Each structure stands twice: as structure tokens, then as C-alpha cells.
Chain A
Amino acid sequence: MEALIFEKSTTGHREAKLPAAGVAEKPLSELLPAGMIRKEAPALPEVTELDVMRHFNRLSQLNYSIDTNFYPLGSCTMKYNPKVNELAARLDGFSGLHPYQPAETTQGALKLLHDLEKMLANLTGMERVTLQPAAGAHGEFTGILMIRAYHEARGQQRTKVLVPDSAHGTNPATAALAGYEVVSIASNDRGLVDVDDLRAHLGPDVAALMMTNPNTLGLFEEDILEIAELVHETGALLYYDGANLNAIMGAVRPGDMGFDVMHLNLHKTMSTPHGGGGPGAGPVAVSKRLVPYLPTPTVEFAEGQYFLSFDRPESIGRVRAFFGNFGVLVRAYTYMVTMGRDGLTQASRDAVLNANYIKAKLEDLFEVPHDQPCMHEFVLSGDRQKAKGANTMAMAKRLIDYGFHPPTVYFPLIVHESMMIEPTETESKATLDKFIAAMRAIANEVETELEVVTGAPHTSPIGKVDEVTAARKPNLCWSC
């Protein structure tokens, strides 16, 4: 383990130095109100550059990453992050642009945003796209605000948003944040939205149904056209959670399925790095009827010039300062032009192929709650192993010993002891085979050496974490 940087601090040690002001300096007391001058210096560390480099390099070695390990994480799409994307985002012509520079000096950046919007609209079958939201959940919120604006423009006060019981937790949280009552819709025994239950909940008080397709069980909602018709008949709109878009690029488009609004998780589908939790980017695509409500500004092109337009009288307003996570958008654009239309289509096909391959190789040892083909991910249940004494969490931790990141566990909530596996298209057959072998070995260990599994992980730099103490007596800050 690595000491905290504060524990390495020595009074007087110094790394960065700034040049002197080089102007006639005045005492701070002449420049600021007396009460507003800092009396006690903030306790930042005093260390050398070498201390800092060793500190962070050692810390980095305590992390898993895609560049070092396979992440079979359901709903998270941890695909390879191409290095040319990084290079592109760091070009001075992009990274050095100030957001308030005049448009004459930022034509290349505005063109990139304009073209990225066109590509994403085409890929999703939607009319227009805002690139402003900073993350998927931020995009969801933007989308729901547009739905609210749409209904209000029609003089309708709709109060409920329907969410399938398998939905990502952000969906209900977003709907609640936007002021809606959240109503859960049941799944049927095939793992799909129960159309009868949906029908029973639809009515003039429903603003929208939020769903994803394929859903969080990795299954394609075959009744989507009927669902869309039912929802639209009542005047409600259909929201698409783009977390699972990686399964369907070039195969089917949310707009064609009848969705009115959707967010994309560019950090998932378009291969931008997760960075240990962000930054993401969550553009929102809309059908024609929601275009008036898009956030300001939009990027437009006329008379040979790209420009920002603020002329949107029915807009929901801004959802973020400036234009969004531009650096992430550059990476996504780079990926899309590298892959091209056929490459994106093939990426989805390979993602689906890989998921079905792993599933086929594991279904004799683990419970598979739904037997139709899966899309880019699938859910296993650890019920059989739990009955023998090793729950899903234990098996997930044991995977660490085999060199793999654990899958998404205990989600979706509607499957007992769930393990949600999403290999993505960038993993080779050799890697998939190693993962399959590890899963099979663990299933075998549950039968023969249970303690090896229940005591896992054995090889990680830390042992089992005391989460309870962490939550009951929070220590969130060093010597604060």
C-alpha cells in the first residue's frame, strides 16, 4: 500500500515554482478587504516532484484498467480506448480553445460538433442531437426536461413516469429529480416488459415510459413496436436509455423503434476512457417533435460559417456551462470516423457474438434465467452456487485472483444473485476462452474447495474491506 501524500510532506519542500509577478507588487491589504485575506495557509502537502511521481505511479499500480485487464462488466461497455483518440483530443487546436473565443477562430471545433451531431442523429434514427450533457444521467435529465416542456406546451400536467423494474437506477432517480412520480412496470417471465402491466399503468397522467432496448437483462424487447404504439396512443412519450446502444449499431435504430428521445453514453459506445469514473459525455438525440425544446446553444451552419445559435424560444435552457465535455466529444468523433459505418455495425455484431459465445460456454454450470439469444450482454444467476455456500459476490471476488475484473453483480435487481456479463467486441477469442476457463474453474472450486472462493480475493493488494465502519464512522478527509 501507498502512504498518503500528506504523510510524506516536509515543511519547506517545494516542487513547482512560478515566476515572480514582475510588476510593482502591492501589499494584499491594499487590494482586498481585511477580512477576506487568508489567515491560515491551506494544508496542502510540501513535497518534491520525484515524491509526486513515485506516489502516483505506485497508486496507478493498485488499479485495474482496460489496458491491463479484461472487464466483463454488464451495462458498462468497457471496450478498448484507442490511443489516437487521446492524441486527437490533446491537439492544441482543440485543447487550447477557450469557449468564449470568437467563432471565426473556432470553425474547426464547431464543424466537428456539427458533424458529430449529424453522425449520431443518423446512427440513432433521430432528428437532432444536443452534445451538451456531461454524462449519461445528465443526458437523461435533459431528455426528461424536454419531455416535460413538450407536455407543458400542450397544456398538459402529466405527473408520472413509468420505468421497468429492470431499469438502471439512474432512470428512476432522474425522473424523480425532474419532479415526476416513478411507477415501476413488471417484467414477464421472458425477461421483457410485461405489456399487460404496461397497459394497465398507461393513462393521461403518464408523461413517459423510460426503457432500454436491448434491456438490462441483455434481451431485445421484441414487442417494441406495440409498446411504442400503446405509449403514443395515450399521448405519452418514449425515452430510450442509450446504455445498451453498443448492441445495435447498424442493426436497428431507436428512432425507428418509436423512441422520442434518448441519451448516448459516448464513454461507453464510442470508446472514450472511463478515467476511473469520468469524464463521460451524454448527448441527447430527439425526434422531430422535441426539437424545439433542445438546450441552448445549438451548432448551426449557414453561409459557409459554423456558429452557435441561441434562437430557441421554447428551449429548456442550458443544462451545462459552455458546450459540454468537448474533449470527450473529440475522442468519440475520432472513433466514429476511424470505424466508419461498417466498422460500427461490425463492432455491435462482434459484441453480440462474444456475449452469446461466453453464455453458450457457461450455461451448463450456471443458471441462465432466460434462454433466448442475448444481445451484447447477458445475466447469469449464482443461485446454484449460493446453495452450496458461495454467493455471487464471493465468486466475483474470486475472479480477481484469476486476473479478471468482476462482472456487474446484484444488478438487475430482478434476478437472484445476478452476474451481468458484457465482454464487448474488442476482446479476442483467446481472452474470452481464458475468462470462460476461469468461470468454470470457480464453479468447480465451489464444489471442491469452497473456502478458496469464500475467502477471495487472495492476491489483491488489500483484503476484505470493512464497508460498515466506513459508512457508520465516515473518514472522508485526512486530519480535517
Chain B
Amino acid sequence: MSFSYLPHTEAERAEMLEAIGVASMDDLYQGVPERLRDFSLEAIPTAKSELEVTRLLTDLAGENRSANQFASFLGAGAQRRFSPSAVDWILHRSEFLTAYTPYQPEVSQGTLQVIYEFQTMIAQLTGMDLANASMYDGSTATPEAAFMAMRVTKRNKVVVASSVHPEYREVLSSYAVGPGLQVVQAPLSGGFIDRDRLRALMTDEVAGLIVQVPSFFGGVEEGRELAEIAHAAGALFIVIADPTTLGVLEAPGAYGADIVIGEAQAFGNPVSFGGPYVGYMACRDKLSRQLPGRIVGATVDSRGQRCFTLTLQTREQHIRREKATSNICSNQALNALAATVYMEVMGKEGIFELGNVSIQRAHALAAAICEVPGFSLALPGPFFNEFVVRSPLPVPELLGKLREEGILGGIALSGWYPELSDCYLVSVNELNTPADLDRYVATLKALTASAAVGAR
């Protein structure tokens, strides 16, 4: 039989069986018990040509309407962003795309150097001493950071702000049952961490305080104060930071973070219905041997040249087995490559502009929305490029009507925060043109006028 990607002819198969010294393929499967061989793969269709497959997939994709077909104001941990053409061009290079994990440094210097540059730039952005070769995503980096804090402090409780992405907190809770980590939520006041109640929670049993800056709501907390509260309790201060804001926002390392984690998807990776994304993790030098995942180091070869290699591998599962710092085996190397190309193309100036354009436009839109009768910002205090809008119309109805006008207006919060059931989260960045902002506001005005809703 002939199938795509299977090179053998029947004659070659026969020749190989003969070389092996068996009569048929069944002889090679002789260990499989007879009674296990009877089943059918009826749910899997029969083979198709590439032309048929292309049509099938194009049709399936066509049953979706991508965010690019709307003026999209959706964010919340998945960001549609501009990606310079160079990024996808490089990703297509087969030598990166189809390479294996760089366990053999002699044939993997390309991947290794890319990761070293990724580590360097993540460390620079976050103001930390070092970073690893990437995590699955921001959400899974969260429990890994908590476990790191547990190992370092030998305590088994973490306090996590309720303004951390709800799905990240769910992942943290799922993971926590393994090593018996106790997770305590720090309550909010007006969307920001309630300092007094936080201080009360920060006992000498707490391994780490986890906060997100900007928060899930886009709010920018005073980080130095939070760091002091964590450190006063002898806990590590763990910051989840959106790297697209770090050209403008102070580096978490500068205000006292011990571990910085986050999601770098927005650096050159498409939203892609939630994945693959690329988490990052950076920390202080003294924590380097507690860092999970892969790390690349610079060294020299026998010819005296600088070269790169995976290092500190004695922390890892393939050597330490049940004593490893984590079970992570894959990283997100290709997505980290996209982020690396992105950061190098954007450069020092570009990373500032990225944050600045986003924050300026977000504040302009927020101000304009507040001028529409009945709309207001739900949470007081400084925000970056995401903010919470309180709507005079029921949120599902409002978002549905905006969608009919070609606008993905935001994300309802009722599922995660029942107290914000009349609110939704709006995200603004360099893809939302001034004309889009005007259209958003004009549409809100038209909708509320037709609903005859007044200011309240």
C-alpha cells in the first residue's frame, strides 16, 4: 500500500523482511496477544490526498470568524498583536522548525544561541539575573514558581492575589494538590490588593506572594510596597508580568521581585485559540539551581571558541528522576524563537513604543467610553492597556450587539467575578487604530441611545 510520507515500495518491504529473516510483518508483532488484535478504527477516516486535506482544513477554518475579521478588544492573557514579517519568515526555516531538543551541542548551536539570547532579553526586561529557556505558558509557570518558593523557604503555603488571571489561579489550585501546597487568595478592594488584609495573611508559613502587574483587570499596583510585605514575612515575591508593558513599566526586579513569570505570546506568536504560547520564568542568581525547565549556558569548546550548551541539567528529570526540580521535559523553543526574533527586531526603542502606544490609546478609549451616558470605569486607580467597563446594558446583550457591528468589545467578567456581573474587560493595543476607537465609542452611543438608557 502507498501512503503519503511512507517511502517504501512493496518490493523494498519484502527485501527488508528477508534481511531480517522473518516471513511476514506479523512475525514482528508476535508478542501482541491474539485476542487484542481485533478492533476497528472506524472513527478515523480513510486516507486523503493533500488537495482534499487542504480543502477540508480550509473549510473548517472557514467555519470560524477570526478576531482579525473584527475590531477586536479582547485580551485577558491572549493578545492579538502586530508581528513584524521577519518573525514568521524565520520560523519557517526548517533548521529551526524541525530540529530536535539541543541535547547534542555540536549540532544544535543555532537553537542554543537563540535560547541564550532569549534568556538574556527576558532577564533584561524583567530586571532579573537570569531566565530559563521558556515554560509551557504563563498559567503553568505560576504553580512552578510557587513550588520553587516552597523548595526555597521550606514552607507550604502561597498567597495569590485575586487580581491574578482566574485561569492561572485555577491551574495553581489543580497543581497544588500534588505536593500539598495550600493556596490562599488575597482579597481585593476596588480591584487592587487590600493591603491590610494582605498583611494579616502573610504569616511565617507563607512561601510566596503571587501578584500580577498589570493585574488581570489591567491595574498597576505599587510593586515596592507589595515586595516589602512579602519580604517582611520571609516569603518570596513572585510577579506575573506582561512583557509587552515592560518597556514602559518598571522592571519587577527593580521593585523587589524574586521570581518573575509571565506569558510572552504577544511577542510574535498568534493568538491561535489559546496555544501554543510561551511562558517565561526569570529569577535571582541565588535561585538558579531551583529553576525548573531547561537552561542554556555559554562556555568554550576544545578549540577555544565560545559556544553554548544545556546546563545545570542535574536539576532535571532525565538525570534526577523523582528528585528533579520539576517534571518538565519540553519547553516552547519555537515560540521562544518567535519571541526572540520579535524582541531583536523591535529593539530598545520599539519595546517602549509598544507599551506607550498601548497605554495612550487605552486611556483615550477609556475616557471616551466614560463620556457615553451610563458607562463608567468599574475600578479606580491606575491602569495600563486593559480596563474594566461598567455597562448600563446587560453585558451579554451589549457584547452581542457590538459583535453584530463587527466589534469584539470585551470579555464578560461575571463567570469569574460575580460582583462584576455588569462589567467587562477591554484590551487596547497597537492594532486598535484611532478610527477603531472612534467606531467603538460611536457604536456604544448608538446602542445606548436606541436602548433609551440614561446616565445613572
- B66's partner among A97, A295, A411 (CB-CB below 8 A) is A97
Contacting A94 at CB < 8 Å: which of B48, B180, B213, B273?
B273
Q: Which of A47, A60, A429, A475 contacts B93 (CB 8 A)?
A: A60
B106-120 contact mask (Cβ, 8 Å, vs A): 1 or 0: 111111011011011
Indicate if A201 sits at the interface (CB-CB under 8 A). Answer: no
Instruction: Assess the B6–A38 pair: CB atoms within 8 A.
Output: no
Q: Would A337 and B346 count as touching, CB distance under 8 A?
A: no
Report, nearest first, the 7 A-B pairs whose CB atoms are least far apart. Answer: A322-B274, A93-B61, A275-B334, A96-B66, A108-B63, A340-B47, A220-B31
- Give 6 pairs: A residue, B residue, CB < 8 Å, sorted on A: A18-B82, A18-B350, A33-B222, A225-B36, A273-B98, A470-B298
- Indicate whether A56 sits within 8 Å of B93 (C-beta atoms), given known contacts A102-B403, A470-B311, A471-B314: yes
Verify B275–A279 contact, CB threshold 8 A.
yes
State whether A111 and B48 are in contact (beta carbons under 8 Å apart), knowing that A78-B100, A102-B403, A475-B298 are contacts in the complex: no
B359 and chain A: residue at smallest CB distance: A31
Check: B439 CB closer than 8 A to any chain A CB: no
Asked if B95 and A318 sit within 8 Å, CB to CB, the answer is no
Q: Cβ of A345: which chain B residues have Cβ within 8 Å of it?
A: 41
Interface residue range, chain B: 35 or more
Most buried by B among A15, A56, A137: A56
Known contacts A338-B4, A346-B1; is-contact A98 B29 (Cβ 8 Å): no
A224 on interface, CB distance cutoff 8 Å: yes
CA distance A59 to B93 in the complex (A): 10
B343 beta carbon closer than 8 Å to chain A: yes
Query: Chain A: interface residue count, which band?
Result: 35 or more
Q: Which of A264-304 contact B (CB under 8 A)?
A: 267, 271, 273-281, 295
The verdict on A176 contacting B137 (CB below 8 Å), with A106-B273, A326-B275 known, is: no
Residues of B within 8 A of A82 (CB): 4-5
Mark contacts of A242-256 with chain B using CB atoms, 8 A cut-off: 1 yes-contact digit, 0 otherwise. 000000101111001
- Please tell me if B332 contacts chain A, counting CB pairs below 8 Å: yes
Complex CA gap A68/B110 in Å reads 14
Q: Within 8 Å CB of A178, what residues of B?
A: 177-178
Q: List the A residue with the shortest CB-CB distance to B430.
A: A18
List 6 other contacts, CB 8 Å, given A31-B382, A429-B16, A461-B106: A33-B220, A37-B250, A98-B72, A174-B327, A276-B96, A411-B318
Bound state CA distance, A461 and B111, in angstroms? 14
**CB of A219 within 8 Å of the partner chain:** yes
Within 8 A of A (CB), among B235-274: 246-251, 254-255, 270-274
Query: B184: CB under 8 A from chain A?
Result: no
What residues on A are CB-neighbors of B317 within 8 Å? 137, 169-170, 172-173
Does A43 count as interface, using CB distance less than 8 angstroms? yes
A450-476 interface code vs B (CB 8 A; 1 in, 0 out): 000000010011111111011100111
Chain B hits for A89, CB < 8 A: 272
Whose C-beta in chain B lies nearest to the C-beta of A323? Answer: B274
Bound Cα distance from A219 to B31, whole angstroms: 9
